[in-house]
Every structure is written in structure tokens, then in C-alpha cells.
């Protein structure tokens, strides 16, 4: 079966009815303000007030912050002082994707309220782990993806899959359009190992620790072989104009089977850590609805919101007159019980922090060892 037949361009179906919203009000466009300290401040405050999707669950008092900081805005204040106010006001927002990018001429670095700190680093996954654990490791050309076998006995193996990012879908289209067979063959082989595992494969380990996320459609590549029918794993609610709590009605978040009526029932262990972000959080959230999946590690980063495009939706990110841009999620994602993991992270089934001393001194990855133990007991 060709790889292109196994991809789906849509995971989420959106409801376009705009019922259940606050009383409609005129949406304030930041571009209406002048390029002055007061104008940029007002554009910033109103832009977040209208576009931020988490006001109903974020403890930040946006109105109180306005009253606190608006009197400090003067015509003669410096750009740096104004930008510091932006950062102070938004420092407690729970949106894991939120960031501020200033004009290049300002020389000011991009602002992220919550710094992402890698626990292990990509060199560990690309060089050291394969040498310690894998036989016959196969790498994509740029080491974005790799897989290999962990031998357990003469006739049983575990398939280890490492994703440094979720770039499978865009990579596939790029490869097909440029007729480059190398990585396309790599992805096809990996997909076949998920769809039709050899007899010696006893289970899988998906390692998405220190993974910064990527393309939402990659969920189908990983999850679809493990379900025989459409699998609903949560709900999506895009932000709407018309008030802070204006959101679209809930729509289903789901993934489809690769082959309807057929599923891979082998156990799958998913490794996560505090630097598993965005798609590296949505993926274990979705997979955890399957009976043969166990998530191992620690809570993920806490940036599970989505970006939705559709007529009538809030645009999410916005710019103010001086060119400063604000990156804001605009769709709330919750699990089947209505839980949001924004700002908290998705919890593992088996809580086990990485033991750096054991890794350095004994050359053993205790999180990976736990996955191997659960697959072979």
C-alpha cells in the first residue's frame, strides 16, 4: 500500500454554528490605533482581550492589569520601557504557544513567558541512544526521524521510533514533488512496520521527548494503524469575535483508521518529558484513548491549544502599529472529560523522571528501560 493512501488532510471537523456566545460586540482591530506608546498599548491590550482563548480558565486579571499599567504610558517613554510592560502584563498567561516578536530594528529578543528547556538534547537521541540501544538504526537524511530494533531474544524485538519533530506530512509532500526517493522510502518502510509488523516485533516505543511539535496531520501517520475505526479523543473550540468568552460550539477531535476494520493490537509505549510540546502533547493525549497504549515519563510542556482557520473565527495572532507581533493560540483543545492541559501538561500513565546520574554513570536511560520492562514482562 502506497504511503500517500495512508494520509488524511483533515483530522478535525469543525462546527461552524456560532451559537452559545456572549452578547455580540464590535471587534476591536489593533490596526485602528496610532503608532505611539498609547496607541500601541491599547492595540496590545485590546488585541489580547479579543483574541485570547483562555480567559475563562486563566487567573490573569486583564482588566486590573490595564488599570495598573495604563497610567504609566507616556508619550516620551522608550520602546524598551513599553515592551517591558507588555512582557510584565502577559508573563502569567497560560497559553503555551504565546510569544512576542519585536521589530528587528529594536534589537530585542523574542519573548516567551515560559522558556522551553530540553532535558536531554537532540545529540543524545541522534547519536548516543542509538549506540546504546539500537540495532540496524535507520535515519532520515537530516536525522529528523529514526527507527531501529531493540533485541530482547533470538526471536523477539521491540521497534523503537524517534521523532525529533512532527514533520512527516510536509516532508512527504516535499519529497514527492521533488521526486526524491530516499526519505520517502524511509517513511514507507516505517509505515509498513506499523501496519504489518513482522512476527518478531513484540511491541513499539514512540519517543517524543524533547520534541517541539509540528504538523497536526502527522497524528494519522502514528495513530491510524492502531485503530480499526474512527477514534474520537477530545473536543475543539475555536475562539470567536464578540467577547472574551466567545467560543465556537464543541467539535470532535479524532483520527481515522489507516485500514478500516483492521488495527495493530501490539502494545505501544510513548515516552514524554517536560520538553514535549504541542503535537508532542496532542499525540499522547490522542493515543491514550487506545487500550494498548501506555504513556511513560513526566508531564508534557503544557501547550496543547490549536490554530484553527475558518470563516467567523478569531485570527489568534495579531500585530500592533509599530510592527510588534503577538503569537496566540485560538482554539481550545480538551479531552473527552473536558479537561484542558494548557499550562499544566498532559500527565503520563507511569510517572518516572529522567535519572541523569544513571544515564551518565551507568549508560542506562531509565525512562526507556521502563518502557522495555513493561513490554517484556
Same domain, 240 and 305: yes
Averaged pLDDT in 10-residue chunks for the chain of 377 residues: 36 32 38 86 93 92 96 95 97 92 93 85 92 89 86 86 85 56 79 93 96 88 94 92 86 94 96 95 96 97 78 69 91 94 95 95 96 92
Same domain, 73 and 208: no
Q: Residue 32 has what pLDDT?
A: 76
Task: Note whether residue 22 is domain-resident.
Answer: no
Same domain, 65 and 141: no
CB 255 within 8 A of CB 231: yes
Q: Residue 26 has what pLDDT?
A: 34
DSSP structural state of residue 350: E
Cell of 247: 467560543
Q: Residue 116 has what pLDDT?
A: 76
Cell of 235: 473536543
Q: Residue 284 has what pLDDT?
A: 97
Same domain, 10 and 79: no
Q: What is the pTM of this model?
A: 0.85
Please tell me the number of Cα atoms within 13 Å of 90 on its side-chain side: 28
Same domain, 220 and 355: yes
296 burial (CB, 10 Å; 0-12 / 13-18 / 19+) is: buried
Q: Residue 177 has what pLDDT?
A: 53
Total residues found in the chain within this entry: 377
Residues 6+ apart with CB under 8 A from 220: 6, 7, 8, 11, 255, 256, 258
Instruction: Tally the domains of the chain.
Output: 2
Q: Residue 24 has what pLDDT?
A: 30
Cα–Cα distances in angstroms (integers) from residue 289 to residues 223, 226, 282, 286, in the given order: 11, 11, 12, 6
Task: Note whether residue 322 is domain-resident.
Answer: no
The CATH number of whichever domain residue 68 belongs to comes to 3.30.750.44
The residue segments making up the domain with residue 364 are 3-16+119-314+330-376
DSSP E strand boundaries for the chain: 99-101, 135-139, 145-151, 157-163, 201-207, 231-238, 251-255, 268-272, 293-297, 318-319, 325-327, 331-335, 350-351
Identify the domain boundary among 82, 106, 130.
106
Q: Residue 308 has what pLDDT?
A: 62
Q: Residue 377 has what pLDDT?
A: 82
Same domain, 39 and 78: yes
- Farthest CA pair distance, the chain: 76
CB 315 within 8 A of CB 337: no
Same domain, 88 and 127: no
Task: Note whether residue 342 is domain-resident.
Answer: yes
Question: 37-51 vs 79-90: helix axis angle to the nearest 10?
Answer: 20
Distance CA 227, CA 336 (A): 17
At residue 130, φ and ψ (nearest 5 deg) are -60, -40
Distance CA 169, CA 215 (A): 7
Residue that the C-alpha cell 524511509 belongs to = 186
Amino acid at each position: 500500500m502506497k504511503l500517500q493512501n495512508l494520509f488524511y488532510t483533515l483530522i478535525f471537523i469543525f462546527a461552524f454554528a456560532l451559537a452559545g456566545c456572549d452578547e455580540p460586540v464590535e471587534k476591536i482591530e489593533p490596526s485602528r490605533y496610532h503608532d505611539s506608546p498609547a496607541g500601541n498599548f491599547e492595540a496590545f491590550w485590546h488585541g489580547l482581550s479579543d483574541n485570547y482563548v483562555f480567559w475563562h480558565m486563566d487567573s490573569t486579571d486583564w482588566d486590573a492589569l490595564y488599570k495598573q499599567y495604563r497610567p504609566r504610558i507616556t508619550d516620551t517613554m522608550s520602546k524598551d520601557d513599553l515592551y517591558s510592560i507588555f512582557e510584565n502584563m502577559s508573563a502569567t498567561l497560560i497559553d503555551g504557544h504565546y510569544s512576542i516578536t519585536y521589530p528587528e530594528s529594536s534589537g530585542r529578543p523574542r519573548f516567551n513567558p515560559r522558556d522551553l528547556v530540553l532535558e536531554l538534547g537532540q545529540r543524545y537521541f541522534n547519536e548516543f541512544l542509538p549506540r546504546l540501544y539500537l540495532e540496524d538504526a535507520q535515519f532520515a537524511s537530516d536525522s529528523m526521524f529514526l527507527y531501529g530494533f531493540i533485541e530482547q531474544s533470538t526471536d523477539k524485538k521491540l521497534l523503537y521510533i524517534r521523532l525529533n519533530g512532527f514533520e512527516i506530512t510536509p516532508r512527504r509532500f516535499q519529497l514527492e514533488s521533488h521526486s526524491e526517493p530516499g526519505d520517502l522510502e524511509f517513511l514507507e518502510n516505517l509505515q509498513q512496520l506499523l501496519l504489518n509488523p513482522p512476527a518478531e516485533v513484540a511491541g513499539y516505543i514512540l519517543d517524543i521527548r524533547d520534541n517541539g511539535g509540528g504538523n497536526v496531520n502527522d497524528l494519522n501517520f502514528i495513530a491510524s494503524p492502531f485503530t480499526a475505526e474512527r477514534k474520537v479523543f477530545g473536543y475543539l473550540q475555536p475562539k470567536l469575535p464578540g467577547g472574551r468568552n466567545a467560543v465556537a460550539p464543541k467539535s470532535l477531535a479524532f483520527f481515522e483508521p489507516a485500514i478500516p476494520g483492521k488495527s495493530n493490537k501490539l502494545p505501544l509505549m510513548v515516552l514524554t518529558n517536560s520538553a514535549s510540546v504541542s503535537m508532542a502533547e496532542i499525540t499522547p493525549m490522542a493515543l491514550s484513548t487506545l487500550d494498548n497504549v501506555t504513556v511513560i515519563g513526566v508531564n508534557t510542556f503544557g501547550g496543547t491549544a490549536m490554530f484553527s482557520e475558518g470563516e467567523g473565527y478569531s485570527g489568534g495572532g495579531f500585530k500592533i502599529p509599530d510592527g510588534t507581533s503577538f503569537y496566540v493560540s485560538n482554539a481550545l483543545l480538551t479531552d473527552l472529560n473536558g479537561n484542558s492541559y494548557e499550562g499544566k501538561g498532559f500527565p503520563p500513565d507511569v510517572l518516572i523522571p529522567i535519572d541523569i546520574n544513571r544515564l551518565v554513570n551507568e549508560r542506562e536511560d531509565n525512562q526507556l528501560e521502563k518502557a522495555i520492562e513493561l513490554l517484556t514482562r
